[in-house]
Amino acid sequence: MKEKGTWYVPTLSAGRFVGEKALIDGYYPAIIRPKAIAVGAKIMDTFARAYRMGVPIAFGTDAGVSPHGDNAREFEFMVEGGMPANVALQTAVPCGPITRRQAAGAHGSTAGCRSRPAATPLMCRRRRSTASARPPLAAGR
C-alpha cells in the first residue's frame, strides 16, 4: 500500500463492535461467533502494522454495523493501536496530514489549500462541480 500510495481506512470500530456483540449469546448464529470474535483483533493488528510501516491512513468508519454517534470511538481505537492522538485527529481532517504537493496531486491545484500554524493541519476547501454531482435519489428510495 505504501509503495503504491494507497490510503488505508481501517474501520476499527466495526471490528470492535462485531467482536463485542459476538460475546452475547444468541446475537449471532453459533457458526459466525468465532469469526466475529477474531475480526476485531485482526483489524487492529493490521492497523498497527500499517501505521508502523508508514502506510497513509485516513479516518473512516463502517457505521452501518454500530449505532450512529459511536463512530468517534474510532479515534480511541487508533490511539490504542499505536497512533499518537494528534495524528489520529489529523486523519479525519479534509486533507489531514498530507502535504501541499500531495494535495496538488489529488486535487490538481493547491489554490484551495492554505497553510496554518504548525499546531493545525493543512486545510483544503473542496470545490463541488455540478457536472460530477450525483443526482438526487428518486422519491421512496
Q: What is the DSSP string of 31-98?
A: TTHHHHHHHHHHHHHHHHHHHHHT--B-----GGGS-TT-TTHHHHHHHHTT--HHHHHHTTSTTTT-
Q: Are residues 85 and 124 in the same domain?
A: no
- Angle, helix 12-22 to helix 33-53, in steps of 10 degrees: 150
For residue 123, what are the domain limits? 94-141
Confidence of residue 106 (pLDDT cuts 50, 70, 90): low
Measured over the CA atoms of residue 70, residue 23, residue 38 and residue 51, the dihedral's sign is: positive
For residue 93, the tally of other CB atoms under 10 A from its CB is 16
Among 52, 73, 92, residue at a domain's last position: 92
Q: Are residues 11 and 61 in the same domain?
A: yes
* Tally of domains in the chain: 2
Work out the angle at residue 70's Cα, subtended by the Cα atoms of residues 68 and 72, and round it to the nearest 5 degrees: 120
**pLDDT tens column, 40-99:** 899 999 999 999 999 998 887 766 777 777 888 899 999 999 999 999 988 887 655 555
Which cell is 94 given? 479534509
Q: Which residues make beta-bridge pairs with 114?
A: 123
Q: Are residues 22 and 85 in the same domain?
A: yes
Q: 29-38, 78-87, 132-141: lowest mean pLDDT where?
A: 132-141
Return all residues near 89 (Cβ < 8 A) that are at least 6 apart. 75
Most confident region among 24-28, 85-89, 102-106 by mean pLDDT: 24-28
Q: Are residues 108 and 129 in the same domain?
A: yes
Q: Are residues 132 and 109 in the same domain?
A: yes
Q: Are residues 60 and 81 in the same domain?
A: yes
Q: Are residues 74 and 122 in the same domain?
A: no
Q: Are residues 76 and 27 in the same domain?
A: yes
Q: Are residues 72 and 107 in the same domain?
A: no
